[in-house]
Chain A
Amino acid sequence: MALPVSCLLVAMLFSASCKATTFSDQTCTEKEANKTYNCENLGLREIPDTLPNTTEFLEFSFNFLPAIQNTTFCRLTNLIFLDLTRCQINWIHEDTFQSHHQLDTLVLTGNPLIFMAETSLLGPRALKHLFLIQTGISNLEFIPVHNLENLESLYLGSNYISSIKFPENFPTQNLKVLDFQNNALHFLSREDLNALGATNLSLNLDSNDLKGMEPGAFHAKAFRSLRFGGILDVPVILKGLQNSTTQSLWLGTYWDTESQDLTPAMLEGLCEMSVESISLRRYHFSDLSATTFRCFTGLRELDLTAAHLKELPSGIQGMNSLQKLVLNVNHFEQLCQINAASFPALTDLSIKGNLEELDLGAGCLEKLENLRRLDLSRSGIKASDCCNLQLKGLHRLQHLNLSYAESIGLRSQAFQESPKLEVLDLAFIHLTVRVPQSPFQNLPLLQALNLSHCLLDASNQHLLEGLRGLRQLNLQGNHFQDGSLSKTNLLQTVAGLEVLILSSCELLSIDPQAFLGLGNVTHIDLSHNSLTESSVDALGHLKGLYLNLAANSLRIIPPRLLPILAQQSTINLSHNPLDCTCSNAGFLTWFRENLHRLEDAEETVCANPPSLRGVKLSDVDLSCGLTALGIFFLVVFLFLFTILLIFAVKFLLRWKYQHI
């Protein structure tokens, strides 16, 4: 008797422990109901039953599917996007996707594919994007040809492909993106490229160790973009590109790639091809002279980022088409060293992240009458008297970025040379305003001004005079006298503001009439200050705002302020020391009823009382005031009290009469 019973018990306990393991597994997360699911990294060996048949976007990466066939995904016929990255897939058998007519994107990155059946990709009406990155492919014949007529992007990076020659029946006519980076393509011949007739193709051949190319291999072909990053032999590549046309040619190199120094002779091949935009990042130039630029004359864009340049040579001729010049992360000491006069048609100039302290000089960019955008950020600029001499001649300038300069001193009408400025970024500069008047006068078209962390005294009422068209203002990190935004303040001169950022300004209070003139404002950020509830009064006349009051000192919001909050469209009250006691009952009820308009409600937690500290406001349910039960007991108590009183009076009277 004991033995069978104990066996039964053992069996029960075994099955109980098995159940325990399945419960500890997680299920897929739902991103959008009935549509988008993420089952990444769950150790799944099959599609879980919990996924609905209507699933359209499925991320299934980092699971375990050694072989996929027509039964694997058969239930999910509505799939549009399927990510099977690193699922250890070895075999893709026939008709795996036969019922997936809407499948548009298939990601098979990182699977050690041994075999793909001929009909494995049949089924989708228009498979557009196929990712076969790092799947061990060494020959393009591995990819089954059937049903790829609509293919737009084919990613074959990090494989062992040695020849770019597509099999004869491989449909390439609709290809827009073809990515062969990091393969074993050592040589390209003209025959290899025969199949690539599509125009508007972006072909990526980065990091391929290309040792040679047949001269004229790309003859008479037109591309949207060609990438030959990390190439060892530039002249050979350019010779192969003879008589070809491309909108963009990326010839940059990397820190971990050995590359030659470019001499003027090496770049001569550019004269034989048609290029609009070229990037030569990270190359060293030796014998840098005007001759280096001889074949750049047709260019519209030139990127010489991190090219170890100390100057651009003078005497460069014929660069009349150049519109965009990128000279980031170089070693210029003076702005005049770029010899800007060589590029008269320039509309866009960027010298970001210069590795030396850049001296702006005077009138260095004077000949650039057409310049619209100028980015000189993060270049260690020091200019004590800015900016009319430095910006001389830039009458058409619309965007100016000087952020992260060391220090700039602004005189009055500092931007007189560029009255058409629309966007001005002066963030994180030690800014000195030398005069009581506004330095921004005569900028009627300015729409966005970024003055964050400029160590300004924001109490200067005249700071923004003249900016009648200003729509966006960022004053983050600047301080007001006494931590107070008073009734007369700098915002009065910018009544058209739509976006106002006053975060991290160490504000303690806001005068109720401080925002009176701002009728058009739609976004106010007052986060990371020390404001109390009284500051909400200042927003009484504003409706439909995005209002950010996160990380302030709001405790108890009195009922009279609730209508002001209720008339805004989105509010953020997170990280405030909010009270969750009955004195804040009205606000707590309002909060629970208005969760749809509250941003970061999960981070909006109680600070008081200690028993409720850290609890989300949306989870708090207080009962304050008299409840129905309380009223009942009160009535009963009063009734009993009245009866007791009557008896006491009766007793007293009787006792009195007895003693008469």
Chain B
Amino acid sequence: MKGFTAAFLIWTLISPSGGAPPAWPTHTACKDSSLEVLYQSCDPSQDFGFSIDQCSQHLKSNINIRFGIILREDIKGLFLDASLLTGGESVLNYSYPICEEDLPNFSFCGKRKGEQIYYAGPANNIGFDIPKGNYQVLLKLYNEKHSMVACANATIICS
């Protein structure tokens, strides 16, 4: 009886837990006295690396970013969708074409599935002041066939 209980307890310890996929860790994209940007990958198959050079509440135009990821899809076309969320609902949507088949803006446009990309350079953004508060932003990168390239839940804390 004792042996049975022991075996049972050992089995429950080592048997695999339910089928829930592990969540990727939350990373800090940049941190400053006035602004903190955190992100977590929502792509179940992989994580990615991202950081912003010199973030501040007065976001400058054309900030430098670093981005590293393994491509799970070809990116002849690459599009970014950003939605500002409040209470889980999206209140503001923004869509931007980074690469288009007839207008490749960056040197990494057209890279193929399986390649790793490391991009360090300007983000070509407009400068604006981030109002104080906590914001949740959902970012999705997808290709011309609407296959996911990257997904991130970002938190912007501006104090």
Contacts and interface: CB of A to CB of B under 8 A. Distances in A.
Whether chains A and B associate is yes
A20 B115 contact: no
Nearest to A204: B110
Interface residues of A, number: 44
Given A3-B3, A9-B3, A256-B122, A24 B106 contact: no
A59 to B, nearest CB: 10
A86 B122 CA distance: 29
A8 to B, nearest CB: 9
A306 interface: yes
Interface in B62-93: 70, 72
Contacts of B109: 254
A5 B16 contact: no
Contacts of A107: 114
A329 to B, nearest CB: 7
Given A17-B14, A256-B119, A6 B105 contact: no
Contacts of A328: 102-103
Given A7-B3, A256-B106, A306-B103, A13 B11 contact: yes
Contacts of A5: 3-4
A206 B109 CA distance: 11
A207 B107 contact: yes
B94 interface: no
A133 interface: yes
Interface in B23-69: 45
A254 B104 contact: yes
Contacts of A13: 7-8, 10-11
Interface of A is mostly: loop
Contacts of B72: 62
B107 A134 contact: no
Contacts of A281: 103
B148 to A, nearest CB: 13
B105 A17 contact: no
Nearest to B6: A6
Contact of A61 (B14, B16, B106, B113): B113
A305 B101 CA distance: 13
A344 interface: no
B19 interface: yes
B95 interface: no
B105 A10 contact: no
B8 A254 contact: no
Contact of B107 (A6, A109, A133, A229): A229
A110 interface: yes
Contacts of A14: 11
A255 B64 CA distance: 13
15 contacts: A6-B3, A9-B3, A10-B6, A10-B10, A13-B10, A24-B16, A41-B45, A110-B116, A134-B115, A134-B116, A254-B106, A256-B122, A305-B102, A305-B103, A306-B103
